[in-house]
A and B are shown apart, each in its own frame.
Chain A
Amino acid sequence: MAGDAKTVNARELAALASGAKLSRRQLIGLAIVLVGAIALPWFVTDYRTFQFTLAVIYAIAVLGLNILTGFNGQFSLGHGAFYAIGAYTAAIMMSQWGVAYYWTLPAAGAVCLVAGFLFGLPALRLEGLYLALATFALAVATPQILKYDPISPWTGGVQGVTINKPDAPFGLPISQDAWLYYFSLVVMVIVFVCAWNLLRGRTGRALKAIRDNPIAASAMGVNTSLYKSLTFGVSALYTGIAGALGAIAVQFVAPDTFNFFLSVTFLVGVVIGGLASIPGAIFGGLVIVFIPNIAEDVSQAAPWAIYGVFLILFMYFMPTGIWGFIRLLYAKFARRRRAG
């Protein structure tokens, strides 16, 4: 048994070193999930479709934070700030300059990449809790800065900015909600593939090496400060794209929606979905959207208490997150089949 585990490990390591490719079974699983995701709007109401759109958007944001926290070991309690920057970039471009909604995504990504990189530079000096505090400060400051009077011609002050929901193009006979869902889904697939490519090769190994032992990593010739600040930038880019999508989906941005709690929510998504795992981010997005709903069904009076209980129970029973739990089940199943 132990020997078995070791060979699997060795195989995994070899796969990692060569730039892991997906096995046939994994590809089939992926295809099934994708078909399911495409078919979804036909089976649920527009409101549910909208919720799934949000889940997709949050999954992108969670992946962004996961790249930073899970793969690179840098804490952030402030990713709500990058989400806000992305959302405001999109909203201002659409409402003030009349830019088409799909062009706002690269712009939001670029703005956040720069913002994240710049924030990552002083963050290099800080580690662990101190970094958590610095990002915490960022999260808390965000709504206040957005409300700040001199910039209100652009940000709309406390009221925020309202934007229009895009219609389906080419006269496609689907509702706005369904179109938005597909649009977000396509964006998600693109950015997830990018993340997978980024993380499975040399760069990914460097990031993990820095997480596991920064001194050893730099001794191996990894430029730790460059990688760490770039990771901050890329992570912010993902979250910024999610923010822009989020603004388009809810057609509205206002300072108080980007509070500290949003940043905490992303962290919850990362940990419950599965730390340092790309598919985990999708579960993270689903958890963020649907667990509060379920909690409300359980108790109207104190839904957040139920939510808190859910969080604690998740950590008791799935300490490695949902994806870790699935992998564990799969490994058990595979081992039993091999034994029998």
Chain B
Amino acid sequence: MDLFLQQTFSGLAFGGIYACVALAVVMIYQATDHLNFAQGEMAMFSTYIAYSLLHHGIPYWWAFLLALGISFVGGVLVERIVVRPVEGTGVLNEVIVFIGLLVIFNSLAGWIWDYTIKPFPSPFPKQVPFGITFVGPHEFGVIGITLVVLLAVFLFFRYTQVGLAMRAAAQDPASARLVGIRVGWMLALGWGLAAAIGAVAGIMVAPIVFLEPNMMDGILLYAFAGALLGGIGNPVGAVVGSLIVGVVENLVGTYVPFVGSELKLSVALVLIVTVLVFRPSGLFGQVVVKRV
């Protein structure tokens, strides 16, 4: 039972990290209908920025916030400079640009900070409060931070004017434009927010998987899977889907004998694809009805 609880909570911690990345992906997807393949590498890059800030002796939480701010600005700039020119030229063209961004960030990180694996500090106390034994301190902290981020995103989109404007711009760009919303900037803002949320995921996962240029590869994959499992157009679904993915992946790796840690990625994905075959638009997604 202890093992089960341990693995479930560890899965939830990972699921929380996937959920942050998935949320970042969904945010861009809702506005533009495109999956940002570079989201993981952007998060990795943000984590390196946080690493550098920490190295210069800035206290952890200041470095954390500063890295988020830099990522936000970086995300806005990427949208304005790199993505804007190819907008509307076709899905595959944008996918190639995203792949271009992916290799650029990956290669730059390796060039600036080299490819050696670096430890990354965890900000959380060594002891879990309330005498809980089935979850590690960092995992406990990660679950907490994820919840804070999710709540913040929810409140932002629900109760602030900018959040509402962004939703309007994503839902119906033409009408949003007519009521005076600057749709283009809302998109850039979305990229910035996505980059910042991704940065949280990167900084939270770095103490577990260690910092290196390829650290986000698997995580982005799980985030995609989670987002699609929950229904890509639905942020809540994406979060729930990601949590499910995290837990399932961990439990399958622990309990199914022939799987182990080698095959758990494949098995998790096969499970997801199987689910999708029966529910093609995700667990919480809506079937898109098109008029011919």
Binding site for B on A (CB under 8 A): 69, 122, 125-127, 129-130, 132-134, 136-137, 140-141, 144-145, 147-148, 213, 215-216, 264, 267-268, 270-272, 275, 301-305, 307-312, 314-316, 319
Contacts and interface: CB of A to CB of B under 8 A. Distances in A.
Interface of B: 35, 82, 85-86, 89-90, 92-93, 95-97, 99-104, 106-108, 110-111, 221, 224-225, 228, 232, 262-263, 265-266, 269-270, 272-273, 276-277, 280-281, 292
B266 A311 contact: no
30 contacts: A126-B276, A129-B232, A130-B276, A134-B273, A136-B221, A136-B269, A137-B269, A140-B265, A140-B269, A145-B263, A148-B263, A216-B292, A270-B92, A271-B92, A271-B93, A275-B90, A302-B107, A302-B108, A302-B110, A304-B106, A304-B107, A310-B100, A311-B96, A311-B103, A312-B96, A312-B97, A312-B104, A316-B86, A319-B89, A319-B90
Given A144-B265, A308-B102, A69 B107 contact: no
B266 A315 contact: no
A270 B92 CA distance: 10
Given A130-B276, A270-B92, 15 more contacts: A132-B35, A133-B224, A133-B228, A134-B276, A136-B269, A137-B273, A148-B263, A213-B292, A271-B93, A301-B111, A304-B107, A305-B103, A305-B104, A307-B103, A312-B96
B280 A144 contact: no
A268 B280 contact: no
B107 A314 contact: no
Given A126-B280, A140-B269, A319 B104 contact: no
A165 to B, nearest CB: 31
Contacts of B228: 129-130, 133
A3 B95 CA distance: 35
Complex A-B, nearest 3 residue pairs according to Cβ-Cβ distance, in ascending order: A311-B100, A308-B104, A137-B269
Contacts of A304: 103-104, 106-107
B292 A144 contact: no
A141 B269 contact: yes
Contacts of B104: 304-305, 308-309, 312
A126 B292 contact: no
Given A144-B262, A308-B104, A319-B86, A130 B93 contact: no
B225 A133 contact: yes
A125 B96 CA distance: 25
B107 A130 contact: no
A144 B266 contact: yes
Given A69-B92, A127-B280, A315-B100, A308 B107 contact: yes
